[in-house]
A = this chain, B = another copy of it.
C-alpha cells in the first residue's frame, strides 16, 4: 500500500539498524554483557559533564518561550556567530554566521544539500567503502550514486577510477574523512588530488561540481594526523558536521551545514538550504540543543577511550589472524572477512553473539565493520567469540 517510489528503500533497509535491533533482542535473551554488539556507531563514552551542566543551566535560567520557541530556520544567530568564530580561530578561515545552517545532525545536513543540488539522473560520486546511507540520501532526490573503488591496501581512493567515473552527469562528490567504515584519514595530498580532478572536470563540462565533506568524525583522530579543511582546497564545497560523535550526542540530532564563501551562487544556495530545512520538516535544529552547542562547541567527550579500544582490538584481531588497515580516526575497523561472502560471515558471527556489519553495506564486499565505540570490557570479553569464529572457518587461529 506504500508508494512505488518508497518500495526500493524499504526492501534494502539498513543492515546496521537491523543488527542494532538484533542486538537488543539477543541482550534480552543472553544478558547485555554476553552480547558483543559492534554494530552501531552509538558512542560508548558519555557526553562531557559540561553538556549536562549546560542543559541544566540553560533550562533553569532561560525564558522558556525563547528557549523552546521557533528559531530562524537556519538557527539562532548568536550560536552561528560563535560557531563562525570558533571555526575561524581553529582553521584560519573567514566565515560569518551566514555560512552556517544549524541542522538536525549530519544526516539532515546531507539531505538538505542533496535536495538543493540534485536533479533527476544527476550523479554523485562516493569513494568505497562509504557509509551505506549515502545511496539512500542520493536516491531520495532521484540522483544516482556512482562508486569509486579504493586501493585495498590503504583504503585511499583509486584516482584513475575516479577520473574515469567523473563525467558531465556528475553533480557532486562526497568524501568522509576520518572514514566510516575504515577509520582512514585523507591526507592533504589526497584532498589536493581530488580537488584537482574535480576542477578539471568543472572546466571541461562548464558547470559546478560540488565537494561535500561529511565530517562527523573530525575530532576523532588518534595519530595527531591533520584532517584538511576542504573549503581551503576547493571553492564549490560544503561541510556537513555533526556533534553526534565528538560530544556523544547522536540521539539529540544537532549539527550544521557550512557553505564555502566561494561557492557558485552563494546567496541562492544559502536561501535554498534554509527553505529546504523548513519545508522538509526539520523547521529548525532542536532549539535547546542549539544553545547547548553554543556553550560546548569547543569541547569533546573523553575520546581517549576509543584510542585504547582501537589499540587493544587491533592487537587482539591481528593476533587471531585478521587482516586490516590500522585506523587513524573515527571508531571503526574494517577487517577482511574470513570468507568471501561477508553477509554469511556476519550471520555466522551472530552464533557467537558477535554483531558485525557486512562490508557490502559499505559498497565493499569481502570485509566487515567493527564499531569499537563500546566498553573496554566488551572488547575483552569478545575475545573468545572472535576466536571461535576464526576456528570455525580456519580450524586454527593465525
Contact = CB atoms under 8 A, between A and B. Distances in A.
Interface of A: 1-6, 9-10, 13-14, 17, 20-21, 40, 42-47, 51-52, 55-56, 59-60, 63-65, 67-73, 103-105, 107-112, 115-120, 122, 133, 136-137, 140-141, 208, 248-253, 263-265, 268-269, 271-272, 275-276, 278-284, 286-289
A117 B2 contact: yes
B67 A251 contact: yes
B52 A17 contact: no
What is the oligomeric copy number? Answer: 2
Contact of A68 (B47, B279, B283, B284): B47
B116 A2 contact: yes
Contact of A1 (B20, B72, B264): B264
12 contacts: A2-B117, A2-B272, A6-B275, A9-B275, A47-B64, A47-B68, A55-B56, A59-B59, A69-B251, A107-B281, A137-B281, A252-B287
Given A44-B65, A46-B65, A281-B282, A253 B104 contact: yes
A259 to B, nearest CB: 11
Nearest to A280: B111
A17 B278 contact: yes
A115 B14 contact: no
B64 A52 contact: yes
Given A1-B117, A2-B265, A52-B60, 20 more contacts: A1-B263, A2-B268, A3-B115, A3-B119, A5-B118, A5-B119, A10-B268, A13-B271, A46-B65, A51-B68, A55-B59, A55-B288, A64-B248, A67-B251, A68-B249, A68-B252, A69-B250, A70-B250, A251-B287, A282-B282
Please list the 7 inter-chain residue pairs (A to B) with the smallest Cβ-Cβ separation, ordered nearest first.
A251-B287, A1-B265, A111-B281, A108-B281, A46-B64, A107-B281, A136-B279
B248 A65 contact: yes
A116 B3 contact: yes
A380 to B, nearest CB: 19
Nearest to A76: B251
A272 B64 contact: no
Contacts of A208: 1
Contact of A56 (B9, B56, B248): B56
Contacts of A68: 47, 51, 248-252
A376 B386 CA distance: 67
A243 to B, nearest CB: 10
A213 B103 CA distance: 27
Contacts of A115: 3, 6, 140
B51 A64 contact: yes
A257 to B, nearest CB: 11
Given A64-B46, A67-B251, A118-B3, A13 B275 contact: yes
A28 B265 CA distance: 29
A264 B3 CA distance: 13
A110 to B, nearest CB: 7
A268 B4 CA distance: 12
A248 B73 CA distance: 17
A281 B105 CA distance: 8
Contacts of A250: 68-70, 283
B43 A65 contact: yes
A307 B65 CA distance: 18
A122 B45 CA distance: 47
Nearest to A279: B136
Contacts of A4: 119
A252 B288 contact: yes
B17 A108 contact: no
Contacts of A3: 115-119, 122, 141
